[in-house]
Amino acid sequence: MTAFTTWDILRNLLLAARWTILLSLAAFIGGGVVGMLVLMMRTSRSGFLRGLSGGYIELFQGTPLLMQLFLAFFGLALLGINVPSWLAAGIALTLWSSAFLAEIWRGCVESLPKGQWEASASLAMRYTEQMRYVILPQALQVAIAPTVGFSVQVVKGTALTSIIGFVELSKAGTIITNATFQPFTVYGFVALIYFALCWPLSKSSQLLERKLNAAHRHH
Amino acid sequence: MPLIAITDVRKRFGANEVLKGIDLDIEPGEVIAVIGKSGSGKSTLLRCVNGLEMIDGGSIMVAGAQLLPDDLHLRALRMKVGMIFQQFNLFPHLTAGRNVMLSPMVVKKTPKGEAEVIARKMLERVGLAAKFDAYPDQLSGGQQQRVAIARALAMAPIALLCDEITSALDPELVNEVLTVVGELASEGMTLMMVTHEMRFAREVCDRVVFMHQGRVHEIGPPEQVFSAPKTPELQQFLGAA
């Protein structure tokens, strides 16, 4: 039987952490793109689009991420579509974060005074022009801090994908524990690595919030 | 032919009918003051004219463009009618110059250089040529409102709607804004303004509209409306104002 040194454990965990980072980035970027589309629908003048996007947000916010992962992995397989676990994880996390990001950003859009909409409308701008040139530049400045804050949730959310067999940091921890019988050491390292990923994010979110509040807006 | 033709316009918010059939024709170059108590529907009427509120009945025509609730008609109408708001509503993330340049560039596809020339000209017209690069929060209320006027003028509208544009200003800043509006009036701009500045209305306006409970209660030249009010409601309003 081979003996595992502490360095062996840490090295393998760090290698697996690459997948956690990659999945987090994919989910965050994908979620950002989809979330922007959902946001445009959520704030549009069409009642149908608003209802549709509202339902979408309710659905993903109102069910556990774990169920969404199961449905993406097993549900699609039942339909005859064989999805590898990394793809199911990527899709489920993207949709999940898009719902939360859309809702965070909607709050930022609605925090702007109604006069910004009215002034740009009275200057003959269309909805998409109002959004692009007047509303979003202001809303996104408000949104930076909570958005970075939410990225912490995405990183931690990736841990759940270990259940459908995607080998990221948590899953690697389980595998190594089964081989070494040192759960405390292994999961201790796992937790530390998660903390090392999340702490800078939440700290920078706090800093950004303070900085943007102090500068208030612009310049 | 009137420039702005308001015919039997009705508007309700839920069960509350705020406009109960308004008829008003405004000729090109005319300056109209709309006065009345709060809740009389004067601001709502103004907001209906450029489609910020949708009317429930009647029709509004501005220089042949009819107010209809679809994007194409609204855009055509709003190209002809500018609006100035009580709260200025400048875009705080853009400099004064950029505020003025934005809509010509976005809506009319005016090239940037040309838009800048227009913006400088318009800011000069309101006496703020030096403030091109200032952000709105570096300007006083009166200056912000004058930038808002320049911004509306940059779209070359044929009429301007002014919704209590001096009500949010400190008393000493009111005059600089009214001076600009007075100059526009004397240059022949068609103006429809909701105002509490009775002295200004008297000096500058061609006709004064007194609104009461969602109707045009009395209308006429300022000397008649202010000096010889016919209805007890207007007499009471002028006595209180």
Q: In terms of C-beta density within 10 A (0-12 exposed, 13-18 middle, 19 or more buried), how is residue B97 classed?
A: buried
Handedness of CA B136, A130, B84, B184 (dihedral sign): positive
CB–CB contact A116 B91 (8 Å): yes
Nearest CA in chain B to A142: B93
Residue B233, CA distances (Å) to B40, B43, B211, B226, B238 in order: 12, 19, 10, 13, 9
Q: Name the helix (H) or strand (E) containing A28.
A: helix A6-42
pLDDT in tens, A96-124: 999 999 999 999 999 999 999 999 999 99
Q: In terms of C-beta density within 10 A (0-12 exposed, 13-18 middle, 19 or more buried), how is residue B186 classed?
A: exposed
Backbone angles phi and psi of B160, in degrees to 5: -120, 135
List the CATH number of the domain containing B208. 3.40.50.300
pLDDT in tens, B85-138: 999 999 999 999 999 999 999 999 999 999 999 999 999 999 999 999 999 999
pLDDT in tens, B123-160: 999 999 999 999 999 999 999 999 999 999 999 999 99
Q: Count CB neighbours of A175 within 10 A.
A: 15
Per the structure, the count of domains in chain B is 1
> Which residue from B141, B125, B230 is spatially nearest to B186, judged by alpha carbons?
B125
CB–CB contact A123 B107 (8 Å): yes
pLDDT in tens, A18-44: 999 999 999 999 999 999 999 999 998
For residues A79-88, average pLDDT: 88
CATH numbers and ranges of domains, chain A = 6-215 (1.10.3720.10)
**Percentage, residues of chain B above pLDDT 70:** 100
- Report DSSP state, residue B53: S
**Are A144 and A190 a contacting pair, CB within 8 Å?**
no
CA dihedral A90, A91, A93, A97 (to 10 degrees): 130
For residue A201, the one-letter residue type is L
CB under 8 Å to A211, separation ≥6 — which residues?
none
| A124 closest CB neighbour out of B75, B87, B137 | B75
Residue A202, CA distances (Å) to A21, A24, B98 in order: 16, 15, 35
Residues of chain B whose beta carbon is less than 8 angstroms from a beta carbon of chain A are: 50-52, 71, 74-75, 78-79, 81-83, 85, 87-93, 102-103, 106-107, 135, 137, 148, 151-152, 155
pTM of the model: 0.84
Which range of A69-73, A121-125, B36-40, B169-173 scores highest in mean pLDDT? It is A121-125
Query: Quick one: pLDDT band at residue A140, thresholds 50, 70, 90?
Result: confident
B201-233 in b/e form (b: 16+ CB < 10 A) is bbebbebbbbbbebbbbbbeebeebbeebeeeb
Q: Which residues span the domain enclosing B123?
A: 4-240
Contacts of A111 in chain B (CB under 8 A): none
**Percentage, residues of chain B above pLDDT 90:** 89
